Amino acid sequence: MSNQWQCEIPITPQAKQSVRFIKNGRAYPDRGKAQYVNALRLYVMAHPPTAILQGPLSLSADFIWPYPKSWGKKKRMGIHAKATRPDIDNLVKPLKDAMTGVVFQDDAQVVRYERIGKYYGPQAAIHITVWELQKGGE
């Protein structure tokens, strides 16, 4: 059996936005996004794996937003797919940044995404599973 790490982070998911631009064309990092990655990292550091994961890894993540306030009680049951922004690839980037050095040494170790999803649910959260792949990538 390969080593794995699972975690549920009770936070509203946010996409990575590298920089913002102002009128004169200068770029600056978005402080809110840096705070988000730091919050993720603090939670991951509080729930580390027993040992840092080695070799090629597979990642599975479910990003869950709270139901929109406009939804009625009948629609607020269960989990619903979220087919709007942000893009999945921009959600995974800050998550991998937060896990680097805690769950695995380098985010380049993640060679496969098993399942990545965006949903609406009763509470905001990110459910993560990362596991080591056997030799041969299985």
pLDDT tens sequence across 26-80: 776 666 678 999 999 999 999 999 999 999 999 999 999 999 999 998 889 889 9
**Mean pLDDT of the chain, nearest integer:** 90
In a domain, 72, yes or no: yes
The alpha carbon dihedral of 48, 51, 53, 58 has a sign of negative
In a domain, 124, yes or no: yes
- Looking at residue 18, its pLDDT comes to 63
Q: How many domains does the chain have?
A: 1
In a domain, 138, yes or no: no
SS3 of 88, please?
Answer: helix
Residue linked to tokens 């794995």: 4
Domain boundaries, position 72: 4-132
In a domain, 108, yes or no: yes
45: its two tokens: 């550091």
- Looking at residue 129, its pLDDT comes to 98
In a domain, 119, yes or no: yes
Query: Quick check: 23 pLDDT over 80?
Result: no
- Residue 128's contacts (CB-CB under 8 Å, 6 or more residues apart) are 5, 6, 7, 8, 9, 59, 60, 61, 95, 99
In a domain, 137, yes or no: no
Percent of the chain with pLDDT over 70: 90
Query: Quick check: 84 pLDDT over 50?
Result: yes
